[in-house]
């Protein structure tokens, strides 16, 4: 059985489609800035999962930078 790690998104399954999440390409957009990134998401419905590490790490860093805090 694969270990599930909500912090990294590893081993997570899409609640709607019941398929394992994969690393998918998405476009991140915030405060009129846009850039491509790869994050865990459902290959069927396209919903993404933001792991805690990402939310508190890179994503927060981008937010702070864009908001000039």
Partner 1 sequence: MSAAAADTGGRHPAATFSCCPVCLKKLPARLVQREETVFLEKSCPDHGAFSVPVWRGEPSWEAWIAAAGGTKTSPPEVTQTGRDRGCPFDCGVCPDHRERVCCVLLEVTRRCNQSCRYCFAEAGDDSSADPPLAEILKRYEFLKKAGEERPFNIHISGGEPTMREDLPRIIEGAVQAGFPYIQLNTNGLRLAEEAGYTETLKEAGVSAVFLQFDGTGDAVYRKIRGRDLTAVKTAALEACRRAHLPVVLAVTLVPGINTREIGAILRYALSLRPIVRGIHFQPVSYFGRYPAGVENPPHVTIPEVLKALEEQTGGLVHSSDFGPGATAHPACGFHGSFNVRENGTLKPTIRRRGDREGYLSGRDYVATRWVLPGGKAGCCCGSSEVSGLTGWDEFLSRFRESLFTITGMAFQDAWTVDLERLSRCKVFVLSEGRKLIPFCAWNLTSTEGRSIHRGEKDSW
Q: Residues interacting with partner 1, by CB under 8 A? A: 8-9, 23, 28, 31, 33, 35-39, 51, 53-54, 57-59, 61-62, 65-69
Nearer to partner 1, 9 or 14 (CB): 9
Q: Which of 13/37 has CB closer to partner 1?
A: 37
Locate 30 and state its tokens: 């915030």
What distance in Å separates the CA atoms of residue 53 and residue 34, rounded to the nearest whole number? 21
The nearest distance, CB 4 to partner 1, in angstroms, is 15
Q: Are 11 and 3 in contact (CB under 8 A)?
A: yes
Tokens 């927060």 sit on residue: 60
């Amino acid at each position: 059985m694969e270990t599930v790690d909500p912090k990294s998104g590893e081993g997570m399954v899409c609640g709607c489609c019941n398929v394992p999440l994969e690393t998918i390409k998405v476009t991140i957009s915030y405060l009129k800035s846009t850039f491509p990134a790869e994050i865990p998401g459902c290959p069927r419905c396209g919903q993404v999962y933001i792991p805690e590490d990402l939310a508190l790490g890179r994503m927060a860093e981008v937010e702070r930078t864009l908001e000039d805090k």
